[in-house]
Amino acid sequence: MHLNSLELGGTQINALDLAVTLRAHHGIQSVLVGAKETLPAGPSLLDIAAERGIAVEVYEPEESILGRGRQLTALARKHGARLVHVYGSWGGGARPTYWGYSRFGRRPWVQTVYEMEVSPKIKRHMPLIVGTGYLIDELEHRPGRTILISPPVDTDADRPDDAAGAAFRRELGLDGKLLVIVSRLDASMKALPIGLAIEAMRTLPDDTTLAIVGTGDDAARLRAAGDRVNQAVGRAAVRFVGPMANPRPAYAAADVVLGMGSSAARGLAFGKPLVVQGEAGWSELFEERTAAALARYSFWSADAVEQPVERLAGIVAPLLADDARRAELGELGRRFAVERFGLTLMAARLAGFYGEAVGAYGLRRWGADLGPELAILARKAAGSVPRRSRTRRDEVPA
């Protein structure tokens, strides 16, 4: 499994969870592979993988596609891999796999795209996994096999845990009502909704705290925004916890979870009321009326709204005041998580898809994707192709 990053992000944790479950339930051994340049200074995926007994190979990518292809092929041969699974449409795994391990269609590969759209650069004929329901409709006429495997949630491990939640509150000296966000603190997709939640603390009840778990490239600016709000309200209303390799105690401690993508789904698994936040200011309560639509769009939206802070506060404030409503929504969310995106179910779907891919990918499908590759090579020869970049459109949000 080639990872787009070794940071603590949703796609990477999904890959690890699936690897563990494939081994336990289907006898499929997986090795995670990631570029050294994506390894953060603090907690990383390596910490979780070590705890769970999954091997991770960290490599120094060569500059050329063919060079990286040789590297990935060598790693696959070292571990006797029968298939390469590339996670993400950024991260440098797809083209090296196409030109290396799977050259001429000799060996199969699949790709998971947990972004909210499928880039035109994604190969059209190899087996593809998407994580968002509406993309299945959009890709109806794609020549290669395409399947929906929702970002999974380990509903056995991610479950209500009063003791862990109480310990988290004691450690931070928290009492009263608690809102929790677990997210990368990145400028792309994440910072705007987190900033809105911080601003909403100006008007939410005085016994409410917002705990933010995670780090990222916009962490300093968000912390400064939190400091300004804390100074304005005269208390520590916004608390930055930092990154946690295991954020389960934070979820367990929450009265309400705010989030998007896989983080939102995990909040449901913990039996917590959920307010979904979109990347441009929209927010919505997860309830019976909205559940199916929110899941179809992977708990995310690109919609902008007027007065987004007021909208968010208007959803959250009634929840904080109504214990019975929070309990009702928590039960609904837990049931929904188990039935719709439980890890065991998603792993079984992935195991079946691997079996299909082994028999379906060959020279004909490899050759069908050759045209765009030749165009890239022609542009490179003309000097118009930029050097490799880590910029990306973010995945089904974590």
Q: What is the CA 25 to chain-centroid distance, rounded?
A: 23
How confident is the model at residue 386, as a pLDDT? 56
Please, where in the chain does CATH 3.40.50.2000 lie? 10-152+344-369, 162-341
| Residue-level pLDDT at 42 | 87
Prediction pTM value: 0.82
Q: Enter the CATH code of domain 10-152+344-369.
A: 3.40.50.2000
Cα 303 to Cα 299: distance, rounded to the nearest angstrom: 12
The helix, strand and coil proportions of the chain, stated in percent and rounded to the nearest 5, come to: 45, 15, 40
Structural element, H or E, at residue 163: helix 162-172
Nearest residue to 321 via CA among 143, 176, 149: 176
How many Å apart are CA 23 and CA 12, to the nearest integer? 17
Q: Is-contact 116 300, C-beta < 8 A?
A: yes
Q: What is the pLDDT along the chain (398 residues), one digit of tens a residue?
A: 999 999 988 899 999 999 999 999 999 999 999 999 999 988 899 999 999 999 999 999 999 999 999 999 999 999 999 999 999 988 889 999 999 999 999 999 999 999 888 999 999 999 999 999 899 999 999 999 999 999 999 999 999 999 999 999 999 999 999 999 999 999 999 999 999 999 999 999 999 999 999 999 999 999 999 999 999 999 999 999 999 989 999 999 999 999 999 999 999 999 999 999 999 999 999 999 999 999 999 999 999 999 999 999 999 999 999 999 999 999 999 999 999 999 999 999 999 999 999 988 999 999 999 998 988 878 877 776 555 544 444 455 55
Given a contact cutoff of 8 angstroms between Cβ atoms, the answer to whether 123 and 111 are in contact is yes
Question: Considering the domain 162-341 in this protein, what is its CATH number?
Answer: 3.40.50.2000
Which tokens in the block code for residue 34?
A: 């990631």
CA distance 268 to 335: 8
Torsions phi, psi for 94 (to 5 deg): -70, -55
Cα 369 to Cα 124: distance, rounded to the nearest angstrom: 7
How far is Cα 36 from Cα 33, in angstroms, rounded to an integer? Answer: 10
d(C-alpha 371, C-alpha 162), whole Å? 56
